[in-house]
Chain A
Amino acid sequence: MIVAEQKSFDEISKMVESFDKVLILGCNECVTVCLAGGEKEVGVLATSLRLLRKQGDRPITTLEETVTRQCEWEYLDQIEKLAEEADCIISMACGVGVQYVAERFPDKWVIPALDTKCAGGSVKHGQWEERCGMCGECILHKTGGICPVARCSKRILNGPCGGSQNGKCEVKDVDCIWDQIYKRMMALGRMDQLLEIEPEKNWSKARDGGPRKLVREDVMIG
Chain B
Amino acid sequence: MSENKSRLQTLFEQGEFVVTGEIGPPKGATGSGIREHAKHLKNCVDATNLTDNQTAIVRLSSIAAGLHVIQAGVEPIVQMTCRDRNRIAIQSDLLGAYSLGIKNLLCLSGDHQSFGNHPTAANVFDVDSIQLIRIVKRMKDEKVFACGEEIKSDEPRFFIGAVANPFADPFEVRVYRMEKKINAGAQFFQTQIIFDLERFDRWMELVRERGLHERAYIMAGVMPVKSAKVAAYMQKSVSGMIVPDEMVDRLKKAEDQKAEAVEICVEQIKQIMKIKGVKGVHIMAVGWEEIVPSIVEKVGLLPRPQIPGAALAAV
Contact = CB atoms under 8 A, between A and B. Distances in A.
B114 interface: yes
Contacts, number: 93
Contacts of A134: none
B180 A158 contact: yes
Contacts of A167: 169-170
Contacts of B163: 162
For B131, B163, B183, B192, the residue with the greatest tally of chain A CB atoms inside 10 Å of its CB is B131
B131 A170 contact: no
Interface in A155-198: 155-167, 170-172, 176, 178-179, 182-183, 191, 194-195, 197-198
B177 interface: yes
Given A158-B128, A162-B165, A164-B169, A170 B109 contact: no
A154 interface: yes
Given A154-B123, A162-B192, A197-B134, A170 B176 contact: no
Contact of A155 (B110, B125, B129, B168): B125
Interface in B208-245: 239-240
Nearest to B82: A154
A91 B198 CA distance: 60
Contact of B183 (A163, A176, A197, A201): A197
B87 interface: yes
A75 interface: no
Interface in B74-125: 82-83, 87, 109-112, 114-115, 123, 125
Nearest to A172: B114
B170 A194 contact: no
Contacts of A197: 130-131, 134, 180, 183-184
Contacts of B240: 162-165, 170
A72 to B, nearest CB: 32
A interface: dominant SS: loop
Contacts of B164: 162
A200 B135 contact: yes
B249 interface: no
A126 interface: no
Contacts of B131: 157-158, 197-200
Nearest to B127: A200
A163 B168 contact: yes
A3 to B, nearest CB: 21
B169 A179 contact: yes
A158 B109 CA distance: 11
A73 interface: no
Contacts of B111: 163
Contacts of B129: 156, 158, 161
Interface residues of B, number: 36
Contacts of A154: 82-83, 109-110, 112, 123, 125, 128
Nearest to A182: B173
A125 to B, nearest CB: 28
A189 to B, nearest CB: 15
Contacts of B57: none
B146 interface: yes
B201 interface: no
Given A161-B109, A200-B146, A156 B184 contact: no
B205 interface: no
Contacts of B239: 163, 165, 170
A171 B115 CA distance: 8
A153 interface: yes
A9 interface: no
A161 to B, nearest CB: 5
Interface in B126-175: 126-131, 134-135, 146, 163-165, 168-170, 173
The 8 closest A-B pairs by CB, nearest first: A162-B165, A158-B130, A170-B239, A156-B128, A171-B112, A161-B109, A163-B240, A163-B239
Interface of B: 82-83, 87, 109-112, 114-115, 123, 125-131, 134-135, 146, 163-165, 168-170, 173, 176-177, 179-180, 183-184, 192, 239-240
Given A165-B169, A165-B239, 7 more contacts: A154-B125, A163-B168, A170-B112, A170-B240, A171-B114, A197-B131, A200-B135
Interface of A: 153-167, 170-172, 176, 178-179, 182-183, 191, 194-195, 197-201, 203
23 contacts: A154-B82, A154-B110, A156-B109, A156-B128, A157-B128, A158-B128, A158-B130, A158-B180, A159-B128, A159-B177, A161-B129, A162-B163, A162-B192, A164-B168, A164-B240, A165-B239, A167-B170, A171-B115, A182-B170, A195-B176, A197-B130, A197-B131, A197-B183
